[in-house]
Structure 1
Amino acid sequence: MTEKNHVIDMEHQHTRLGKVEIAPEVIEVVTSIAAAEIEGVATMRGNFATGVAERLGRKSHGKGVKVDLEEDGISVDVYVVINYGVSIPDVAKQIQENIHQTLKTMTAIDLNAVNVHVVGIQLEQQEVIADTTQE
């Protein structure tokens, strides 16, 4: 792993054809999609910059994910808003398992940790039904 180049060197993927490197942005996107797949996750929470970028029309696929490249491995932090009425510990565990499995399958990367931060609860949107009949 080479932190100065900001890529993950897949050491065991060296072949006679060359080597494979994965950018942290790829891990962010895969992690964000894997977390959003879980039932009970309302949205991913980004920072101020991603919110501004989305308002200007740029889609941020890695929103709500922070990847830490450390000497002893890789850890990810996921920031989610959960739907009201679901079991937060169950949803968080499903998020962790899905992210771990998806990254293992797609990139062959073993993570040190998947930290789930629940930063909000999404209340159900109630529809207001107005009586439009004239008497």
Structure 2
Amino acid sequence: MADKTNSFFETNAKPGESLGRIELAPEVLEVIIGIATTEVEGIAMTSGNFATGVAEKLGKVIHGKGVKTNWIDNKLIIDVYCVAEEGELIPQVAENVQKKIREAVFHMTSIEAGEVNVHVTGIRSETLSVTE
């Protein structure tokens, strides 16, 4: 498993004058991405693994579940795993997720995502829930 690395930002009061460095934990990005994903119409939820499922059953809310981030050649690569609502046009919903994630990450961190990969792992219907 790849180690998660923090993102760094330099702040400048005036050109050439640094106020210091801001460090952003990878979990912060994952939460931003998870919340943005679930705000898209047509997405039922993000899909996590067994451990996040157990934690949620115990009452813990995990906003970053189903989200993986990686830095490759100084580009942020995002993979999000989610469940779509029945009756939705999955390509359109996935594109909306990509746009929402790019917008949320940029507005909250000033980081432009290199890739946003959406993995639809299931469909949720009113009568039957089919996932993974």
1:54 Cα shift? 1.1
2:113 counterpart letter in structure 1: L
Determine the structure 2 residue equivalent to 1:130: none
1:5 Cα shift? 7.6
1:123 Cα shift? 1.1
Residues of 2 paired with 1:40 and 1:4: CA distance? Answer: 32
Larger Rg: 1
Determine the structure 1 residue equivalent to 2:125: 123
TM-score (norm 1): 0.83
Asked if residue 54 in structure 1 is aligned to residue 56 in structure 2, the reply is: yes
Structure 2: unaligned runs, 5 residues or longer: none
**What are the equivalent positions in structure 2 for 1:77-88 lying under 5 Å apart?**
77-88=79-90
Aligned length: 123
1:14 Cα shift? 5.0
1:120 Cα shift? 0.1
Q: Deviations over 1:79-125 (max 9, x none)?
A: 01000101000000000000001111110001110000000000124
CA contact (8 A) 1:34 1:98 kept: yes
CA contact (8 A) 2:46 2:66 kept: yes
1:115 counterpart letter in structure 2: N
CA contact (8 A) 1:67 1:77 kept: yes
Determine the structure 2 residue equivalent to 1:95: 97
CA contact (8 A) 1:14 1:20 kept: no
Determine the structure 1 residue equivalent to 2:8: 9
TM-score (norm 2): 0.85
Q: Secondary structure at the match of 2:111?
A: coil
Q: Let me know the Cα RMSD of the aligned residues.
A: 1.9
Structure 1: unaligned runs, 5 residues or longer: 127-135
In structure 1, which of residues 102, 105, 108 is the aligned counterpart of residue 107 of structure 2? Answer: 105
Query: Percent same amino acid among aligned pairs?
Result: 45
